[in-house]
A and B are shown apart, each in its own frame.
Chain A
């Protein structure tokens, strides 16, 4: 009787141990499957983008003339980076302001245009047509656009001489916003 009860106890223990083991496997497999599916439907977000008050993300591009246009190239003076495209309506609307900003720099700060989702020929043509007076870099593979998390052009970043982002304008900029933003990077007009 006692032996039978012990056997029964042992069986129960083993039975529940098997159940726990099986359940663990099932849960692990289900979690892995769900995680894989979720990652496909909702891929993990990319690394954080630029933040006001933080260092600008380094990049290395070439200008239309083939000169280096990396972030380090401009260190020491405030830098205004304008992301644009030749096909973009709001970019064309704001471009006279960006051009004027560059024309009035007088060596106190620099303006860099970064052309996104565009071709060299189209950008050269646009630069001629719009009489752009600032250097233009080509982001042909969209690497800088993605690093700066630019959804669609235009977007303008105001970076101080130490490489810290002080203001960002997504979408077309206005003269009021230009005034505000350049003050934040220490430029007096």
Chain B
């Protein structure tokens, strides 16, 4: 190749620069809006709970006094008595017994998740507290009372015919004895609890007391700050997918209640819907389909949607769907600017790498940014936690960033946010072991 003259070299340089800039502009035209937010700088991993007890299924929430709380589940540690023959080969007295019993543990942090108080047990009795999509949840009232709900298997040990348990702080540093909220026994799963703007509590769960026709119903009940029932259990919807989490947000001082869930029709098509109440959750209107994904699946996908509401009243929803083909499978997002009457066409946040159910959550900041966390498979075929941020303009997305490095699998990320501090906690499993990992990041405001 001939050596170019200085004049031509300059010309070539400017041409390259021009074309590079033009190409960047062209290739970014669909994505320029997706890169407007920077990736987050997360701090080190912190582990919650007792590692030997296999911590799992964290849920995070800030209390009104600014403390970050976490609740998770752990093995109920029971040792086989010394001197008694152990049923497991090679095991001996003093070894831990394999037991389905799990406890709900709670701890708090006053320094933004860096250090944590000693964990306390929430369930007074020994119970098989359920985890994963069905794990314990927390709510607070303004005076700092803590309310917890979780699910335990039914009397025959059936997790699909389970019971909703409730306990609250007893004012003496512990929790009250748990009680069952579902009036028809062995019927409830996937509970969530939220403090309403009036200070009362709203509990929702998926119920199967009417076992035919299938599928499941949506039941609610209200309680006051003392944990006393203000209503009986009442049904506000049916046709719910049998196995995934619910979401609730409030508006208009609690007069408006929005709920998200996954519906399933007679052809086993599972789309996500928004339910809206304008009478503080007493009744709900006809559900609005968030997206017609056409996901037809006869099996148990076990991954529910997530909802948040920003200061402008916009609703933000994320969910997982396989859509009408594997090529469509992934985590999606949509927003409603008209109080849930309509939703924008879905936007894919991250595509599936394999036919794997992905678990997702979102949280909305007081600056209207939306933070998403979900699981997906990495190049080594292990599930990891990924994150993305959507700026308040509703168009500018941060790049996808992986925030876990699990040896086995990481899943079910929980989120909490206080001003400029974001926390993500998740479960990592490797063979028979599990642990709860927490990472925090400062977010720009």
Question: Interface of A with B (CB < 8 Å)?
Answer: 11, 14-15, 18-19, 21-23, 25-27, 29-30, 33-34, 37, 40-46, 49, 66, 85-92, 117, 119-122, 124-126, 128-129, 140-143, 146, 149-155, 170-172
Contact = CB atoms under 8 A, between A and B. Distances in A.
Contacts of A119: 54, 432
A37 B130 CA distance: 39
30 contacts: A14-B2, A14-B4, A18-B8, A18-B12, A23-B19, A26-B19, A30-B23, A30-B24, A34-B27, A40-B400, A43-B376, A45-B353, A45-B354, A87-B160, A88-B299, A88-B302, A90-B300, A92-B160, A121-B75, A124-B98, A140-B431, A141-B408, A142-B356, A142-B383, A142-B409, A151-B322, A152-B299, A152-B300, A155-B299, A170-B298
A33 B27 contact: yes
Given A43-B351, A66-B89, A172 B298 contact: yes
Interface stretch (B141-149, B151-159, B435-443): B151-159
A19 to B, nearest CB: 6
Interface in B412-444: 429-432
A87 B134 contact: yes
Q: Is the interface of B mostly helix, strand, loop or mixed?
A: loop
B158 A92 contact: yes
A89 B160 contact: yes
Q: Which of B4, B100, B399 has the most CB of A within 10 A?
A: B100
A44 B408 CA distance: 21
Nearest to A21: B12
Contacts of B341: none
A29 B27 CA distance: 11
Contacts of B357: 151-152
Contacts of B253: none
Interface string B31-73: 1000000000000000000000010000000000000000000
Contacts of B403: none
Q: Is the interface of A mostly helix, strand, loop or mixed?
A: helix
A177 B351 CA distance: 33
B54 to A, nearest CB: 8
B299 A90 contact: yes
A170 B299 contact: yes
Contacts of A33: 24, 27
A149 B348 contact: no
Contacts of A11: 8
A46 B376 CA distance: 13
A129 B156 contact: yes
Nearest to B208: A89
Nearest to A86: B159
B118 interface: no
Nearest to B349: A41
B230 interface: no
A159 to B, nearest CB: 19
B344 interface: no
Contacts of B268: 171
B4 A26 contact: no
Contacts of B322: 151
Contacts of B276: none
A49 B15 CA distance: 48
Nearest to A87: B159
Q: Give the top 9 A-B pairs by smallest Cβ distance, nearest first.
A: A171-B298, A18-B12, A26-B19, A152-B299, A88-B300, A125-B100, A43-B353, A30-B23, A22-B16
A26 B18 CA distance: 9
Contact of A146 (B16, B26, B98, B356): B356
A155 B136 CA distance: 29
Contacts of B24: 30, 33
B415 to A, nearest CB: 22
Given A120-B432, A171-B298, A49 B355 contact: yes
Nearest to B76: A121
Contacts of A15: 8, 11
A44 B378 CA distance: 11
Interface in B281-330: 297-302, 322, 326
A8 B329 CA distance: 58
A154 B299 contact: yes
A18 B242 contact: no
Interface in B389-411: 399-400, 408-409
Contacts of A155: 299
B228 interface: no
Given A152-B297, A171-B297, A172-B298, A124 B100 contact: yes
